[in-house]
Structure 1
Amino acid sequence: MTSSLVNTAQNILNSNFQEKKGFTLPCKGLYPFQWYWDSGFIAIGYAHYDINKAKSEIETLLNAQWNNGFIPHIIFHNESNSYFPGPDFHMAELHLDASTEYKSTGMTQPPVTGFVLEKIYQIAKDKIDILDFIKKNIDKVYDNHTYFYKNRDINNEGLVYIYHNWESGTDNSPVWDDIWKTMNSPDYDFERRDTSHVDPSERPTKKEYNYYLHIIDIAKENNYDDAKIAELSPFLVQDPLFNAVLIKSNNALINLYKIIGNNEDKITQLLKWTNKGVKSFNTKLYDDELGAYVHYDLRNEKPIRLVSSSSFVPIFANIPSKQRAAQLISTMITKFGGEDMYLCASFDPTNERYNPKKYWRGPVWINLNWMLYYGLLDYGYNEIAQRIKSDSIELVDKVGFYEYFDARKSVYNTESKGCGGNNFSWSAALFLDLINN
Structure 2
Amino acid sequence: MKKDMIAEAQNILNDNFQEIGYSIPSKGLYPFQWKWDSGFIAIGFAHYDMEKAKKEMKTLLNSQWKNGFIPHIVFHIETDSYFPGRDFHLSKLHPESNLDYPSTGMTQPPVLGFTLEKMYEIATDKDDVLTFIKDNIDQVYFNHQYFYNKRDPQNEGLVYIYHNWESGTDNSPIWDDIWKTMNPPQYTFERRDTTHVNSAQRPTNREYDHYLDIIELAKEHNYDDAKIAALSPFLVQDPLFNSMLIKSNDAMINLYKLIGGNQEKVAQLEQWQAKSKASFNAKLFDKELGAYIHYDLRNEKPIRFVSSSSFSPLFAGIPSTEQAAIIINTMMTKFGGEDMYLCASFDPTSDRFNPEKYWRGPVWINLNWLLYYGLKNYGYMTIAARVKSDSIEILSKAGFYEYFDARKSEYTIDAKGYGGGNFSWSAALFLDMLEN
TM-score class, shorter-chain normalisation, is over 0.9
Q: SS at 1:317's partner residue? A: coil
**Partner residue in 1 for 2:324:** 325
Q: SS at 2:359's partner residue? A: coil
**Partner residue in 1 for 2:310:** 311
Q: State the 1:100 CA deviation.
A: 1.3
**Partner residue in 2 for 1:357:** 356
Q: SS at 1:303's partner residue? A: strand
CA distance in 2, matches of 1:217, 1:179: 17
Aligned length: 436
Q: SS at 2:160's partner residue? A: coil
**Partner residue in 1 for 2:23:** 24
1:11 and 2:7 aligned: no
CA distance in 1, matches of 2:378, 2:414: 35
CA distance in 2, matches of 1:426, 1:281: 28
Alignment of 1:108-119 (within 5 A): 108-119=107-118
CA distance in 2, matches of 1:158, 1:353: 31
CA distance in 1, matches of 2:149, 2:305: 29
CA distance in 1, matches of 2:63, 2:412: 45
Q: Deviations over 1:228-281 (max 9, x none)?
A: 000000000000000000000000000000000001100110011111010011
Query: Residue 230 of structure 1 aligns to which amino acid in structure 2?
Result: A
Q: SS at 1:103's partner residue? A: coil
1:408 and 2:407 aligned: yes
Alignment of 1:27-426 (within 5 A): 27-413=26-412, 415-426=414-425
Q: Deviations over 1:142-194 (max 9, x none)?
A: 00000000000111010000000000000000000000000010100000000
Query: Residue 28 of structure 1 aligns to which amino acid in structure 2?
Result: K
Contiguous gaps of at least 5 residues in structure 1: none
CA distance in 2, matches of 1:168, 1:399: 26
TM-score (norm 1): 0.99
Query: Residue 71 of structure 1 aligns to which amino acid in structure 2?
Result: I
1:2 and 2:2 aligned: yes
Q: State the 1:413 CA deviation.
A: 2.7
Query: Residue 434 of structure 2 aligns to which amino acid in structure 1?
Result: I
Q: Cα RMSD over matched residues? A: 0.6
TM-score (norm 2): 1.00
**Structure 1 segments of 4 or more deviating over 3 A?**
none
CA distance in 2, matches of 1:144, 1:305: 30
Q: Deviations over 1:47-105 (max 9, x none)?
A: 00000000000000000000000000000000111100001000111001100101000
Q: State the 1:415 CA deviation.
A: 4.9
CA distance in 2, matches of 1:86, 1:54: 26
Q: State the 1:414 CA deviation.
A: 6.1
Q: Deviations over 1:330-378 (max 9, x none)?
A: 0000000011000000000000000000000000000000000000000
Query: Residue 177 of structure 2 aligns to which amino acid in structure 1?
Result: D
CA distance in 2, matches of 1:352, 1:276: 36
CA distance in 1, matches of 2:375, 2:67: 35
